[in-house]
A and B are shown apart, each in its own frame.
Chain A
Amino acid sequence: GAVVSQHPSRVICKSGTSVKIECRSLDFQATTMFWYRQFPKKSLMLMATSNEGSKATYEQGVEKDKFLINHASLTLSTLTVTSAHPEDSSFYICSAPLATDTQYFGPGTRLTVL
């Protein structure tokens, strides 16, 4: 089946630094990818839609200058958490749809900001 990968799987950083998370579709192309975040014992919250060749679309309440999204190619989207703070610590998950409209999710990236 289709596979979506994320890198890194875990990252620990100091407050004030920026962290980049990569999302790749391994055996299919994705003009659109989605980024979610998930706090402990909570559901996934959609952050933004990443669009290849154009600007990302952010959900209400998500700071676009804080969470920079770049969809560099048909198989790669990156999420950069800028000037990270402890409250940004979360589980970040990306997904990509196949032509059949089935979403495939990455394994997630656990971000801890000290």
Chain B
Amino acid sequence: DAKTTQPTSMDCAEGRAANLPCNHSTISGNEYVYWYRQIHSQGPQYIIHGLKNNETNEMASLIITEDRKSSTLILPHATLRDTAVYYCIVRVAGGNQGGKLIFGQGTELSVKP
């Protein structure tokens, strides 16, 4: 699975959009970009995933560049409850690994009042 690079930490003002970048320059054509987050002392939570088109759900939007070498997770109106570590993971969907996820260090997002 391709390696990802994320900033160690970011701050965001409450009510503003939080834009979390992820670089995955070695991504393969069949690898998806997944985003999970982990609030302190809890299990990770799935946010969104995509292959090459931009995706949006009730939690966030995922913007993937045309060359697929980077992506941005957007939380449109960040709240204090969005304070968490955000993980960008690139992997092949399904496959013989059956969903195994390899976590990097992630970005620690702090939403401030």
A residues at B contact (CB < 8 Å): 4, 6, 31-32, 34, 36, 43-46, 49, 91, 93, 95, 97, 101-108, 110
Contact = CB atoms under 8 A, between A and B. Distances in A.
A107 B104 contact: no
Contact of B104 (A43, A97, A105): A43
A104 B46 contact: yes
Interface of B: 36, 38, 41-46, 49, 87, 93-94, 97-106
Pick from A6, A97, A101 the residue with the most CB of B within 10 Å.
A101
A102 B44 contact: no
B57 to A, nearest CB: 11
Contact of A95 (B87, B94, B101): B101
A32 B46 contact: no
Contacts of A104: 46
Contacts of B102: 46
Contacts of A31: 98
B98 A49 contact: yes
B106 A43 contact: yes
A103 B101 contact: yes
A38 to B, nearest CB: 9
A103 B99 contact: yes
Given A43-B104, A43-B105, A43-B106, A97 B45 contact: no
B80 to A, nearest CB: 20
B46 A103 contact: yes
Given A4-B43, A46-B100, 4 more contacts: A43-B103, A46-B102, A93-B44, A101-B94
B48 to A, nearest CB: 10
A43 B42 CA distance: 12
Nearest to A36: B103
A110 B41 CA distance: 9
A36 B101 CA distance: 10
Nearest to A110: B41
A17 to B, nearest CB: 24
A34 B94 contact: no
A49 B101 CA distance: 11
Given A101-B93, A101-B94, A108 B99 contact: no
